[in-house]
Structure 1
Amino acid sequence: MTTPQSASTSPLPSAAIQVLWAKSGEKSAGVGWLPVLHHLLDVGACAWAILGREPQATRDLLTADFGTDTDTARRWTCALAALHDLGKASPAFQHKAPELAARVWAVLPEQDYSKNTPHGMVTQKLLPDLLTRTGRDWPERVARGVAGAIGCHHGQRESSSDYRAPDRGAGPQWDRVQEELLTLVLRGFDLEHAPPPPITDWTGEAFMRLAGLTSFADWVGSSFEMTANPDPLAYSNPAAYVQQAGERASMALDAIGWTVREPLVPQPRPLDETFAFLPDFKARPLQTLLAEVLSASDSRPALVLVEAPMGEGKTEAAFYSHLQLQNAAGHRGLYVALPTQATGNAMYTRLREFLGQQITARAEPVTVDLQLLHGGAALHSGYQANLSATVQMNAQTRARPTDEQKHKIRPNLPGEPGDSVHAGEWFSHRKRALLSEYGVGTVDQALLGVLNVNHQFVRLWGLGNRVVVLDEVHAYDTYTTQLIQTLCRWLRALKSSVIIMSATLPAQTRRELLSAWNVMPDTAPTYPRLTVARTGDAAPISHHIPGPRRRLALNLKATDPAPEAMAAQAVALAHAGGTVTVIVNTVQRAQDILRVVREMLGKRYRSIRRGSSHPQRVNVHLYHARYPADERSEREKRVLRHLGQQPAHYEQDGQERTDDQRPERFILIATQVAEQSLDFDTDVMISDLAPIDLLLQRAGRLHRHDKNNGRRGAHEQPVLYVAGLGNWPEQPLDDYHWKYIYAPALMYRTWHALGGRTQITLPDDLDDLVQGVYDPASPPLDGLSDTQRNTLAKADRKLQHQRQQHGTLGDQAHIGTPDNLLDLPHQPSWGEPDGEPTNDDTDPSKGEMRFGTRLGDESFRIVPVHRHEGAIYLNIKDRIPAQILKLGKGDWDSARTIYARSFQVSRYDVIDHFRRNPPRRGTAHEGWGAHPLLRDAMPLVLDDGEATLGRTHLRLDPELGLTYERLE
């Protein structure tokens, strides 16, 4: 590391500066201790090393933050990061290790203090006074801004309500030692006599950059070993000490896998060459057009809106755009955000293959880190295999002599695509994951960057100067959409590029996203369309995406919404041959329909878990969110095996197999978790009425794969049966609880938009239908009775009120915008309330709003366990102990096995029971309550597979999943 070094050395250090401690073996069951000065300089050196591996574009951003040249801005950044623990030079902190404190009180006055005052708060109070005093002359607003950024390194900006002046130390002796620390740190970065940065304000984006980097550097610097005799060089020559600490910082970054951030492909190849690894790939018009638009020599970040139907290659277009933007704008990497864990899992596999193929094509292969970010990542076998391989490699590295422990790039081996795509264990931790160069996960993980949760600034720092892809944006409600718009504002300020993809966006949502990027919304061209807005431009550039494209003309038919009628129709359609999919709006309806189908088929019924190729058998499969995670995953795999691309690739009896698995007769019964999560092809579909965009999303599974044409039984012509489309749907909205799942106004408007139609052509009709249902300025609906008009008007008012309310909640939930962040009062952190919604498992009776990444019914995670002969097991057959009270805190293998049996529930009476009767889950040191993976999981104890909680009877059925029965 090359850092500026002062030619002069410091005078003899004071006795006080040599005894102030920052870390102690006494506090950590370790050995030795670390002086405050040493830790400050260590962390500053780590910040310098981190920035040295960042793209030049990241370092250039500091120039605007500080109003200086890039080198001086980098030195100020690292010096300020170093000062994060200045607050430890105070009575409020020094008392915490009694033996070390005794040495401090021998040279500094022991004063009154608040035992619980965070040292970060003391930093926030100390530093502005030191920076603004005569001789340093920092503007007060800038001094307070930088102090707030470095003082929140333990998770959140502190409120000063509990702070008392004596906590920082009173009198000239404490003043002198704090001033001395500041001087030595500035000397270490050749800033002792430097004028203050020529700025008068501290921006929100500068705050996030400094806060995120400081926490990251502190985490790395805190890994340095303590000794009984700290190096005196820090006192005599801080710059030389920083030089040495920089070498340790580089080794620490090597160890965690923080490599130089450079373009994955320095010169992107043409599209067809880039994706030659995909069978029969040929660039589609969308991909070609977007590549041409981004090919201009423009180094500014961009907002890209892609509105195109399924099958147009949006994902490949986003991957390629990342390569272009990474080179042009100097972005560090890519994060792909999706609506559900299932879509994230599928994307992880695709991105890993893409990265591996691009690495293989490089002249000098590199190692890249790819993380999977969502609550169920512990269950993803591919990700866990990558993670385990990295842990094993790190263990081998630690076993080498010290001088051989530097992390070395591991090139790909010939014929092994993706060999250099790993998942570093250090980055797998929740708060650190977005620091990784590449990532796939739920949108929730990105939105936590704009919510008031611990270390949200680390997440924003990780997303800064990066390409962020937000996929399937049409899947979110007003509240989450509001948070997405706020995220876009921050990403623009942090000089990231954002690619937003959707089958179609309501016009209002499109306008709001463009406004969030600070450009004037334009008139949308004909669908499908592409819009690119460069940072700094007043208006975007939009294009119609030309054809040709695959068109699907499907017949539309109304059907009876009664479960018995839908089951009878599914059975009749299956008897004619082919695959039938039934998608309904609640788990209860899916379970009811399966019961009827099973009864109607009798001996011809065959669960797909056992399967049958007998021509008279009908294979039936149920898929929803109310199964334990491992069972849900297995059911998802079976859907893809039988209805996905053929021949199917799957594992059976420990062997990898490839063959055609599409059944001759098959009924899939699913909830809306299948409409986005799974890429499958069905011959005919029966669906509950749903808002038009979601209904068309479901219809997109009809005849999805052309290779299946000619083998669809009696269903070579695609048909969509819609339950509730026949008559005015007010009654089924009430009878089947649809009104609690979707806004009635959207249901009525969808019913009207499809009324009288016998055919829909996709994608031609898609945009007009969606805009007609969602546009608030749509003309009054014709053909309605007075009663129907009144019902619709009431539903419209309710929806408008709900949108306003949810928009307001979304506006209140986020941290603020880059323009107003530092003017808003500090709020205490909410923790980390995020997660995939359980909207197919909604209890219509009651519910509580949750102020997190999404609104919806309160939910929590349960693990069904079985009582047998006085013991509690995960599984009766295998007698696997549940270890509710005795699970070891470090036993991750057992914890993953237990977590694999968990799932989310949102039924109010179940949640209420657990709230009133919380089960014992161990202690702070052992048991479920102590383990990071299970600390929020509740055991549901079953006897013979059943339990009664209050007036609700629950049963875990191997076919139906968890069932509820209300007891009178």
Structure 2
Amino acid sequence: MEFEDAGEVSVDLQIWGKSRGLDEERYPLVCHLLDAAAAMRILWRDVVSAGMRRWLARQMEVTVDHAGRLLEFWAGLHDIGKITPSFQRQVSVPHGYPLSPDDRKVGHDVAAHLWLASALQQAGYADGRRTPVARLVAQLLGGHHGCFHEVDPGKVRLEKRPYLGIGNGLWDEQRTATLKTVQSVLGSPEPPPQIGRDAAVLACGLIILADWLASQIPFIKRRLKHRPVSGDLASLRSFFRGSLAEAPKLVADAGLMRLRLRGGSFEQEFPFPPNALQAGIAEKLPGLVTGPGLLMIAAPMGTGKTETAFHAARIIGDVAGTSGIYVALPTMATADQMYRRLSEYLGRRSPDPAALTLLHGMAWLSPIYSMLEGKEQAEDAGEVSSDDEWLRTAVTEWLLGAKRGLLAPAAVGTIDQALLAVLPVRHNVLRMLGLAHKTVIIDEVHAFSPYMRKLLAILLSWLGQLGAPVVLLSATLPRHVAQELSAAYLGRDGNAAPPDLEQTYPSWTYVQRDMPKPVTEAVPVPEKDRRELAVSLRPLTIREGDLVDRLPALRTELQPLVEEGGCAAVICTTVAQAQETYRALRGWFADLAEAGHEPPELRLLHSRFPAQQREKITNKVIAAFGKNGKRAKPSVLVATQVIEQSLDVDFDLVISDLAPMELLLQRAGRGHRHKGNDKSRPGWAATPRLVVLTAPGGDTPRIPEAWKYVYPHASLIRAQRLLTKQGADPISIPDHVQGMVDSANPGDGIGPEDPLLEGFESAEIERIGANLVELQAADMLGIDTPESLKHLHRITDREVSEELVSTRFDADSVRVLPCFVDQDGTYRLGAADGPSFPQPNEQGRFTRAQRAAVMRHTIPLRAKLVEGRGEANKPPEEWGKEPHLQNLVLLPHRVAENGQIETVCIRDQVFLLDSEQGLLIEKK
């Protein structure tokens, strides 16, 4: 395709594209378009992975070089909708351009979509075999603000354009001149024969990235000095050469690059010899990999799955042509720990310094971002020029937060950051882009609810289609879950037969879309690594009001620890029960002290401590019970599920409330975890042992309501009956694990006739029904899979924000700020004599340190617990412009004249921040 030079109508440099932050100057639109094209050329050359470049080229049925030139051209058209009266009149309309009182206000992204559909057809874009190429390219360009639009440009007649805010006459002439000029400057690339909707998603993500890079105010100010004096083709070609010269630094300064990892054996990558799992994958996986694939690893706790995943990701990534890593974890705490491990690995294996980001809601409080402390100018350094308020917010988040962070060459974060790519939120295509050119490692898959697992299946279908390798890690992986996830990656819909997996435990399975069948390899377990886990069942007493009395059982089980030393973990189902258990043990230990016996140390850890206090407690727990912990004194830790996945800790004894079978096995892995501690264990703890606090009633257990609220009733019945059936026989690790996990997790196909649920059939029906509700919610909220995607606008919804959707089912949460109000009305943080609330500067802004000081005192809480909150629970008015502070829920504790702290009441809930136990919540 070749247009004649646009000499008939020169580009009008009065048509402005950027104004914000430019000191009353206007940046010509065509200059910004050429800047974006220049940024795209460097992104394609230096950042986009080889695998993604090949994949996009195949989807367009062109060469890799041609695909890059097309993306440059499209990036050079993304803002062409700004040549409209509705946009230009925001600041100043160039002289002579017609205006009408009937002009509607239309977003320039929508205007680009409407106009380009017909303009690209006139430029030679024909319909492909599967998709209307011109309309699809117009739609992806109209989505450059992160949201695709459902409009049919074919129904928009020329005479209607003025009434849509697009304008005709001189407006149309300028749009055409700009299109022809950009095309000529960029070498007039031929239209693609074809482009799929999945390729349009990635193309849109790349164009958003190029636009954001080229929209940074410091860059625009530098380019303003070189803006052309004329809109003729020669001048604009010269300007583009200047933009192209600056673009490599622009991209590099943003921290964007390809991650390179040195090749080598496992022994070269890690400073220790491989175990059986690691050696098997290192030896056999290279012979299986011919392209992107899915590797699933199911192995016991403490078998080095993380190092195995790093090594495997490098092997698959090298063949698939990816150039980055994202490690997804279930919690913020696990992500924080993984950040350090991946950083050490990259430090050894990457020849170039590579940006490594940490991604979760509180990542900005992490010490790794402390270099921003006191450097508020860093927030302005990357400020973007845009006349759309929401875009300024989004870009700021990209530069310093999650939306930018997922585009870094390496990243660690929660699974939520990845699942947002398959929810219909604005800029999800940018998240998809960030994942698609990486190898994605997802840990602790067994911890996912049906809702999260369904979203994960949608994500896997996209990653499989886009050619991104995935490594899934799990301590225990039920067969039906492994089949479901592998089918999703292979692109099989729910009606197709799932892949036949020959699962053993421990094992690993590898699948590719072009493989005839999955390959599963059993992992031999040396005799020295086998364990016989003794399990003791201790029925509890349930008092009036459904209160669980653990103390009698705990006194019996912990007596040897009191007499001979050692350490134990007591894991409770709810925070309130953990607090109650802590108080009961504290009373017993106080009695011991009064009787002249030295009591064990007692610690409490759960999610309802203020953030900084929880961090301090966690660090002390790791120091005491971690791999090289100081275990000299007898100690007991009372905790909730937070130690299930978050901490690498080792106890002589684990005592746990009844829980689903796979979680009990996970918790048992917190006992006798590190062989280096075996010599120091007391005699009573010579062998691994798990004590399960069960419901009373024997074979017809009466499960406490609080336990059924957290876990499915049927799962608890199955676990208790499986353990009862096991009797005094120990559980052989790993031989018994897969069978027990599969028996406890039959999927939704067995139905209420399961013999393990005899007498509790209604509980199974309830479980299946609850699962279906979660699956339907994920189906309704999640985006279409690539195989079922018919309309690109279904990918996003402009009415849906990240605050309105959840990656976890029924997990609507808020952050509460317990604070203290003294007699003169001063609000204080942390304690009655703590620091007062921070005050903004003259510009109404807070420093990062001030924001962090507040957030470190906050606690995550289910939103239902603070329903009915009133004016007293709203943050100060001056916090209203701070994204991190504006939605906090205050829990103001009044301090009486005598120093007494008053509780906080919200509807029927009573709150009290206790310095030792965290936030206490009771009903009135």
- Counterpart of 2:770 in structure 1 is 802
User: How far apart are residue 726 of structure 1 and its match?
Assistant: 5.8
- Counterpart of 1:511 in structure 2 is 483
3-state SS of the aligned residue for 1:84? coil
State how far apart, in whole Å, the 1-side matches of 2:873 and 2:63 are: 59
Structure 1's 631 and 71: CA in aligned 2 closer, same or farther, altered over 3 A? same
From 131, 135, 145, the equivalent of 1:144 is 135
3-state SS of the aligned residue for 1:331? coil
- Counterpart of 1:559 in structure 2 is 538
- Counterpart of 1:466 in structure 2 is 438
Contact 1:301 1:325 in 2 (8 A): yes
State how far apart, in whole Å, the 2-side matches of 1:857 and 1:446 are: 17
Q: Is it true that 1:187 corresponds to 2:141 in the alignment?
A: no
Please give the per-residue CA displacement for 1:705-732, whole angstroms capped at 9, x wherever unaligned.
Answer: 1122132222223321111166348665
From 236, 250, 253, the equivalent of 1:252 is 250
- Counterpart of 2:814 in structure 1 is 860
Please give the per-residue CA displacement for 1:788-846, whole angstroms capped at 9, x wherever unaligned.
Answer: 733x2101111111222211211111121113334265463465547xxxxxxxxxxxx
Q: Is it true that 1:374 corresponds to 2:360 in the alignment?
A: yes
User: What aligned pairs does 1:53-68 form with structure 2 within 5 A after superposition?
Assistant: 53-54=46-47, 55-68=49-62
From 882, 907, 913, the equivalent of 1:931 is 882
State how far apart, in whole Å, the 1-side matches of 2:288 and 2:691 are: 50
From 272, 284, 287, the equivalent of 2:278 is 287
3-state SS of the aligned residue for 2:615? helix
Q: Which moved more, 1:575-584 or 1:469-478?
A: 575-584
Structure 1's 426 and 554: CA in aligned 2 closer, same or farther, altered over 3 A? same
- Counterpart of 2:687 in structure 1 is 717
Structure 1's 397 and 858: CA in aligned 2 closer, same or farther, altered over 3 A? closer
State how far apart, in whole Å, the 1-side matches of 2:851 and 2:371 are: 19
Please give the per-residue CA displacement for 1:110-139, whole angstroms capped at 9, x wherever unaligned.
Answer: 463333x22111111111011123755455
User: What aligned pairs does 1:205-220 form with structure 2 within 5 A after superposition?
Assistant: 205-220=198-213
State the one-letter code of the partner of 1:23: K
Structure 1's 569 and 594: CA in aligned 2 closer, same or farther, altered over 3 A? farther
User: How far apart are residue 626 of structure 1 and its match?
Assistant: 0.5
State how far apart, in whole Å, the 2-side matches of 1:732 and 1:118 are: 60
3-state SS of the aligned residue for 1:557? strand
From 406, 411, 417, the equivalent of 1:445 is 417
Give the root-mean-square deviation of aligned CA atoms: 3.1
User: How far apart are residue 890 of structure 1 and its match?
Assistant: 4.7
User: How far apart are residue 856 of structure 1 and its match?
Assistant: 2.4
- Counterpart of 1:679 in structure 2 is 648
User: What aligned pairs does 1:423-438 form with structure 2 within 5 A after superposition?
Assistant: 427-438=399-410
5+ residue gaps in structure 1?
360-364, 399-423, 607-613, 649-660, 835-849
Contact 2:562 2:599 in 1 (8 A): no
User: How far apart are residue 385 of structure 1 and its match?
Assistant: 4.2
3-state SS of the aligned residue for 1:764? coil
User: How far apart are residue 581 of structure 1 and its match?
Assistant: 1.1
Q: Is it true that 1:665 corresponds to 2:658 in the alignment?
A: no
Contact 2:426 2:797 in 1 (8 A): no
User: How far apart are residue 686 of structure 1 and its match?
Assistant: 1.4
Q: Is it true that 1:773 corresponds to 2:744 in the alignment?
A: yes
From 573, 578, 583, the equivalent of 1:585 is 573
Contact 1:465 1:497 in 2 (8 A): no
User: What aligned pairs does 1:1-400 form with structure 2 within 5 A after superposition?
Assistant: 10-11=6-7, 13-14=9-10, 17-24=12-19, 27-28=20-21, 30-54=23-47, 55-97=49-91, 100-101=92-93, 103-104=94-95, 106-110=96-100, 112-115=102-105, 117-133=106-122, 135-137=124-126, 141-160=132-151, 165=161, 166-191=163-188, 195-199=190-194, 202-223=195-216, 224-226=219-221, 227=224, 230-232=227-229, 235-237=232-234, 238-259=236-257, 261-265=258-262, 268-276=263-271, 281-296=272-287, 298-359=289-350, 365-381=351-367, 383-385=368-370
From 562, 566, 574, the equivalent of 1:575 is 562
State how far apart, in whole Å, the 2-side matches of 1:961 and 1:630 are: 12
- Counterpart of 2:451 in structure 1 is 479
From 856, 862, 877, the equivalent of 1:906 is 862
3-state SS of the aligned residue for 1:942? strand
Structure 1's 678 and 781: CA in aligned 2 closer, same or farther, altered over 3 A? farther
Structure 1's 509 and 580: CA in aligned 2 closer, same or farther, altered over 3 A? same
State how far apart, in whole Å, the 1-side matches of 2:347 and 2:30 are: 43
State the one-letter code of the partner of 1:739: K
State how far apart, in whole Å, the 2-side matches of 1:441 and 1:305 are: 20
Structure 1's 465 and 239: CA in aligned 2 closer, same or farther, altered over 3 A? same
Structure 1's 746 and 366: CA in aligned 2 closer, same or farther, altered over 3 A? same
3-state SS of the aligned residue for 2:104? coil
Contact 1:885 1:922 in 2 (8 A): no
User: What aligned pairs does 1:536-685 form with structure 2 within 5 A after superposition?
Assistant: 536-548=514-526, 550-561=529-540, 562-569=549-556, 571-576=558-563, 577-602=565-590, 604=592, 616-646=598-628, 648=629, 661-685=630-654
State the one-letter code of the partner of 1:529: S
Please give the per-residue CA displacement for 1:413-466, whole angstroms capped at 9, x wherever unaligned.
Answer: xxxxxxxxxxx9975322111000001110000011111112100010011121
Please give the per-residue CA displacement for 1:886-910, whole angstroms capped at 9, x wherever unaligned.
Answer: 79535111101111111111162x4
Give the alignment's TM-score, normalised by structure 2: 0.88
Structure 1's 392 and 425: CA in aligned 2 closer, same or farther, altered over 3 A? farther
Give the alignment's TM-score, normalised by structure 1: 0.84
Contact 1:627 1:962 in 2 (8 A): yes
State how far apart, in whole Å, the 1-side matches of 2:397 and 2:452 are: 30
Contact 1:692 1:773 in 2 (8 A): yes
Please give the per-residue CA displacement for 1:115-173, whole angstroms capped at 9, x wherever unaligned.
Answer: 3x221111111110111237554557222212221212222123449998423434333
Contact 2:124 2:191 in 1 (8 A): no
State the one-letter code of the partner of 2:854: I
- Counterpart of 1:793 in structure 2 is 761
5+ residue gaps in structure 2?
383-395, 493-497, 541-548, 896-900
3-state SS of the aligned residue for 2:403? coil
State how far apart, in whole Å, the 1-side matches of 2:863 and 2:917 are: 17
3-state SS of the aligned residue for 1:350? helix
State how far apart, in whole Å, the 2-side matches of 1:742 and 1:620 are: 27
Q: Is it true that 1:705 corresponds to 2:692 in the alignment?
A: no
State how far apart, in whole Å, the 2-side matches of 1:779 and 1:715 are: 41
3-state SS of the aligned residue for 2:220? coil
User: How far apart are residue 879 of structure 1 and its match?
Assistant: 4.0
Please give the per-residue CA displacement for 1:160-196, whole angstroms capped at 9, x wherever unaligned.
Answer: 49998423434333322211111111112111xx543
State the one-letter code of the partner of 1:862: V
Contact 2:567 2:653 in 1 (8 A): yes
Please give the per-residue CA displacement for 1:295-338, whole angstroms capped at 9, x wherever unaligned.
Answer: 23854111101111112211101111222223222211100001
Structure 1's 879 and 592: CA in aligned 2 closer, same or farther, altered over 3 A? closer
Contact 2:39 2:244 in 1 (8 A): yes
Q: Percent identity?
A: 29
Structure 1's 387 and 510: CA in aligned 2 closer, same or farther, altered over 3 A? farther
State the one-letter code of the partner of 2:773: Q
User: What aligned pairs does 1:700-849 form with structure 2 within 5 A after superposition?
Assistant: 700-713=669-682, 714-724=684-694, 727-728=697-698, 732-735=702-705, 737-756=706-725, 757-758=727-728, 759-776=730-747, 789-790=758-759, 792-823=760-791, 826=794, 828-829=797-798, 831-833=800-802
User: What aligned pairs does 1:530-541 form with structure 2 within 5 A after superposition?
Assistant: 530-541=508-519
3-state SS of the aligned residue for 1:913? coil
Structure 1's 463 and 241: CA in aligned 2 closer, same or farther, altered over 3 A? same
3-state SS of the aligned residue for 1:753? helix
User: How far apart are residue 58 of structure 1 and its match?
Assistant: 2.8
State how far apart, in whole Å, the 1-side matches of 2:371 and 2:397 are: 9
State how far apart, in whole Å, the 2-side matches of 1:635 and 1:328 are: 44
State the one-letter code of the partner of 2:679: G
3-state SS of the aligned residue for 1:880? coil
Contact 1:44 1:79 in 2 (8 A): yes
- Counterpart of 2:544 in structure 1 is none
From 913, 918, 921, the equivalent of 1:956 is 913
State the one-letter code of the partner of 1:309: P
Contact 2:125 2:133 in 1 (8 A): no
